[in-house]
Structure 1
Amino acid sequence: MSEYLSVWTLIRASGFLAFYFLTLSLIIGLFSTYSIMKKKKAALLSYHQTSGWYGMLTIIFHIILIWRDQYVPYSLSDLLLPFHANNKPLYSALGTLSFYLFFIVIGSSDFFIKKLGIRKWKKIHLTVIPAWIFMLVHGLAIGTDSSKSWALVIYLTSSSFVILLLFIRIMESIMSKQTPRTKELKR
């Protein structure tokens, strides 16, 4: 197998690709909640779901590749049980926990939203934030390319963008809650 198609290269590429898709899904999800995006909400929701599923499938591919890798051996239990891996157990566990949280969010969104109801679903959906943070820390701490400048730029840029969008979303939520009170006070 060539150097570019080695298991090692595919593990690294699938990790970054999963990070890309799930970051994209998070960003689109945040955009879709903004009041100025109401007319584009249906299209954004479709992109949000699609990128989320691509991210989930890429994580599964990433896990399978790690399981089959001979250089740093992981058993299936190392990959599926948090804190069970011998190699960097904390950071491996964050990857595993991130996978489970993303799985719960995507599964509940696509298969159980009606059974859960919108309130429960929203609470579950918010776990995407810790899932994304766990994924980020996992990639930074255990990824072999994390010390390279191009990887740091990817992590720093995406983190900054997500933080900015979360801040804007929180501010918009606070302002929308204050607006009705302001109207009542003026009466």
Structure 2
Amino acid sequence: MDVPFISNWVLIRLSGFLAYFLFTFSISAGLLSRLAVFQKKRPLMNELHQTSGWAGVLTVIFHMILLWRDRFVTYTLGEIFIPFFSDHAPLASGIGTICFYLFLIVFVTSDFLMKRLGKNLWRKIHLLVIPAWIFMVLHGFLIGTDSNLPWAAFLYGGGVFLVVTIMSLRYLESYFNSLADKNDAKKTP
């Protein structure tokens, strides 16, 4: 699949970075929606979370199709869909495949099976998004041809910093809320 002014290789790299951006944005919006400061904007944050997540899944599918159709580094469908089966960078490719499956499980269960699974099981499955995102970072860093360039390191590092910071804020807010709840429980006879 070549576009006259953009090579397949450029589209593969672009779709990989776009998927990274979309999933990082999705996770960030999902985490922010749970913070007290965003409670009034929670519906908007949830919409951003879901929309960017599905856009990320579709971008990864586009990325996989481009890899399958590439003529320079050839991937068979088996190499794309079976983890660690690829002749080219089997570890990094396999991590990418697992990442795709984890994200797909999270989005399918969130949009189609959440009510059937129940809230507790759904939340546990939804947490798979964190290892999926970590695998995505590793996949891009290990196999990406731009990973050694400063701008790519900045993008990866910036995304990791953002997600870790928001997760830390969410943890701290939860921790201090639980302390406040314990203090309130002690005051009530």
TM-score of the superposed pair, with normalisation by structure 1: 0.96
Q: Deviations over 1:78-99 (max 9, x none)?
A: 0100111111111111100110
* Separation of aligned partners in 2, 1:172 and 1:4: 49
Q: Which residue of 1 aligns with 2:109?
A: 108
Point out 4+ residue stretches in structure 1 off by more than 4 angstroms.
1-4
Q: Which residue of 1 aligns with 2:21?
A: 20
Identity, in percent, stands at 45
* Separation of aligned partners in 1, 2:185 and 2:120: 27
Name the SS for the 2:33 alignment partner.
Answer: helix
RMSD over aligned CA atoms reads 1.2
Q: Which residue of 1 aligns with 2:90?
A: 89
Kept in 2, the 8 Å contact 1:3–1:9? The answer is no
* Separation of aligned partners in 2, 1:110 and 1:47: 14
Aligned residue pairs, count: 187
Q: Deviations over 1:54-113 (max 9, x none)?
A: 100000000000011111111100010011111111111110011001001111111111
Q: CA deviation at 1:3?
A: 7.4
Q: Which residue of 2 aligns with 1:33?
A: 34
* Separation of aligned partners in 2, 1:56 and 1:49: 11
Q: Which residue of 2 aligns with 1:71?
A: 72
TM-score of the superposed pair, with normalisation by structure 2: 0.95
* Separation of aligned partners in 2, 1:63 and 1:160: 27
* Separation of aligned partners in 1, 2:73 and 2:181: 58
Q: Deviations over 1:24-69 (max 9, x none)?
A: 0001001001122111111111111110011000000000000111
Q: CA deviation at 1:184?
A: 2.0
